[in-house]
Amino acid sequence: MEDSQIAKQTDNLFAKVAELIEQARKRVATAVNVAEVYTRYHIGQYIIEDEQQGSTRAAYGKQVLKMLSARLTERFGSGWSVETLEKCRKLFTVYSKSATLQRNSSNEISATPQRKLSAVQTKSDKNRLQCGQNRNVIEPQFCLSWNHYQILMRIENPDERSFYEIETQRQNWSVRQLSRQVGSSLYERLALSRDKDEVMRLACEGQTIAKPSDIIKNPVTLEFLGLKPETAYSESNLESAIISRLQTFLLEMGKGFLFEARQKRFTFDEENFYVDLVLYNRILQCYVLIDLKTDKLTHQDLGQMQMYVNYFDRYVKLDFEKPTIGILLCKSKNDALVELTLPQNANIYASAYELCLPDKALLQQKLREWIDEFDEEQDTNK
């Protein structure tokens, strides 16, 4: 056998063995991370049970944690500060009282949605942690790292927390990516971009992509571009900034997005036209055209996007692909103008973008009002 054939055979064998080792290491790392979370969960359980036996809970608990921290540090080394033990207690408190996440035998994530968006506990929630009842609580199925859960357990609304845990597992978000999505209020922005009867599905199923409107969120948050809202910039500047942070931009756009081209040129009737950004969504199996607008949205902009979409549908997309989606990413959108200008089945959407993180409290308030209004409509229709 020639040396080149031996080298090629060795390369193939090496690739297979290396992949197997890497997969094994990932499984081991995942198992270790999950075991750490379960350990801290039960540490929190023991701490709470011990505190409930104290006569003066606050003073008793503080002193016990301080002594426990010192002894654990002496035996196991650093990493067992009072702050860490308090986080263990928080983990148990949050996940034992809410019990929002359960998984069936096939590891599919499900959740018990709550009709009201509220951090207020019910009486049963408050009583669930009373002494003697802890062991009757359904143990949650953890699947992420301790660092992930340090972010998740700070989320008061159980529906929102359920959504982020589902999405983190499915999309393999890093801790930094999860932190960014929570900070950018992804849950609220998706919920406010959907029909009222679809809002509760977010907590049960995460973000499902079944139709074009499922990829729309308002606003699209582009704080990572580093552009200052008060500074003048052109559409070309905005496009260049997006291209320079393309990976983060695709993450912000959502599931299944792939990048194809910027300033995609096509010629029609001897005239050249340019689409700012051409993406492809592999879940919907369709092209997604994005036009950037830093000025006020006009009916001419909508008409131009309609032409872009028509061209791609007629001359670019393949027979098995779904109709092209057009998104006008604009500084401020006008829903009434879009509705008046375009037919209902146009597959074209206007979505506002923000150069800074949205006001989370304001979005939460809007969502509460939306859910309350939905519940009132449901009660009226009964």
pLDDT at residue 235, rounded to an integer: 92
Phi and psi, residue 95, nearest 5°: -85, -20
Tens of pLDDT along 256-292? 999 999 999 998 888 999 999 999 999 999 999 999 9
Q: Can you read off the two tokens belonging to residue 16?
A: 């297979």
> What are the angstrom distances between the C-alpha of 228 and each of 170, 236, 237, 258, 290?
33, 15, 12, 27, 22
pLDDT at residue 325, rounded to an integer: 95
pLDDT at residue 269, rounded to an integer: 82
In the chain the first and final C-alpha atoms are separated, in Å, by 80
pLDDT at residue 94, rounded to an integer: 92
> What are the angstrom distances between the C-alpha of 189 and each of 71, 88, 359?
46, 30, 11
One-character DSSP codes across 56-78: SHHHHHHHHHHHHHHHHHHHH-S
| Beta strands 257-268 and 220-221, pairing class | unpaired
pLDDT at residue 193, rounded to an integer: 76
* Segments of the chain with pLDDT less than 70: 1, 54-61, 98-138, 195-197, 374, 377-379, 381-382
Rounded to whole angstroms, how far apart are CA atoms 329 and 324?
A: 16
Rounded to whole angstroms, how far apart are CA atoms 156 and 152?
A: 9
Question: Could you tell me which CATH number the domain at 220-357 has?
Answer: 3.40.1350.10
Tens of pLDDT along 153-202? 999 988 899 999 999 999 889 999 999 999 999 998 888 877 666 777 78
pLDDT at residue 203, rounded to an integer: 77
pTM, rounded to two decimals: 0.73
For the chain, residues classed under CATH 3.40.1350.10 are 220-357
